[in-house]
């Protein structure tokens, strides 16, 4: 692997050869800051996300913008490719997540149910499930095939602190949620039950990761 991509407030993303430090391609066309970028797992695609509420899919081999993903009505907060690089999930301030077909740029499903900003969204490692976290204090587990919500993990009930992040374990049997007040909780993803409180220090925790 010899490429690195950067996102900038100048409304562009740049692809660099990290071996010699040369800029290989400048990706232009967004109307505001580009704040998220990600390569697909198969190395075919690059996605950029901007505060113009758009995500754009670029063909890595040519540097061409192939699809503009329209539909979110507010800022996009996260973007992730499925493990097979065929799907893309975005989450937004508009209280939704959207599932996209990468090859055609079509929105396949709108994941509705959160009542506040959806801060993160990710696929399970087998690509079958999607996990979202929201400022409404809930994490939700969805089907990546039809957008159905399987489980709602209510992290504290009424008056919950906003969730900053949620992550699947590698086998998707567990979930860790991270709340703005520093409450980190582990869940049985199948049963939807709280299994452990990892941290409760009253300090801001931004993210978590499984080994």
Look at residue 104 in the predicted model and tell me its pLDDT.
97
Mean pLDDT by 10 residues, the chain (211 residues): 93 95 95 97 97 96 96 97 98 98 98 96 97 96 97 74 93 94 91 88 81 90
Angle (CA) 48 134 126, round 5°:
65
Look at residue 205 in the predicted model and tell me its pLDDT.
80
* Calculated CA dihedral for residues 38, 42, 45, 48, nearest 10 degrees: -10
Closest CA to 131 of 116, 149, 145, 106: 149
Q: What is the rounded CA–CA span in Å between residue 28 and residue 11?
A: 7
CB-CB contact of 167 with 122 (8 Å): yes
CB-CB contact of 47 with 57 (8 Å): yes
* Distances, alpha carbon 73 to alpha carbons 82, 97, 107, 203, in Å: 23, 11, 14, 31
Q: pTM score, two decimals?
A: 0.93
């Amino acid at each position: 692997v010899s490429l690195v991509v950067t996102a900038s407030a100048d409304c562009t993303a740049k692809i660099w050869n990290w071996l010699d430090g040369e800029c290989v391609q400048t990706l232009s066309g967004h109307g505001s800051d580009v704040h998220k970028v990600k390569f697909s797992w198969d190395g075919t695609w690059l996605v950029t996300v901007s505060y113009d509420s758009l995500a754009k899919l670029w063909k890595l081999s040519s540097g061409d913008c192939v699809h503009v993903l329209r539909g979110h009505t507010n800022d996009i907060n996260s973007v992730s490719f499925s493990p097979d690089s065929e799907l893309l999930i975005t989450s937004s301030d508009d209280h939704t997540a959207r599932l996209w077909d990468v090859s055609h740029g079509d929105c396949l499903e709108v994941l509705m149910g959160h009542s506040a900003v959806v801060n993160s969204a990710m696929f399970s490692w087998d690509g079958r499930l999607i996990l979202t976290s929201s400022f409404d204090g809930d994490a939700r587990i969805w089907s990546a095939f039809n957008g159905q919500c399987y489980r709602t993990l209510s992290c504290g009930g009424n008056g919950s602190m906003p969730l900053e992040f949620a992550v699947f374990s590698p086998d998707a049997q567990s979930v860790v949620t991270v709340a703005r007040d520093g409450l980190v909780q582990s869940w049985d993803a199948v049963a939807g039950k709280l299994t452990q409180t990892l941290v409760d220090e009253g300090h801001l925790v931004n993210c978590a990761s499984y080994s």
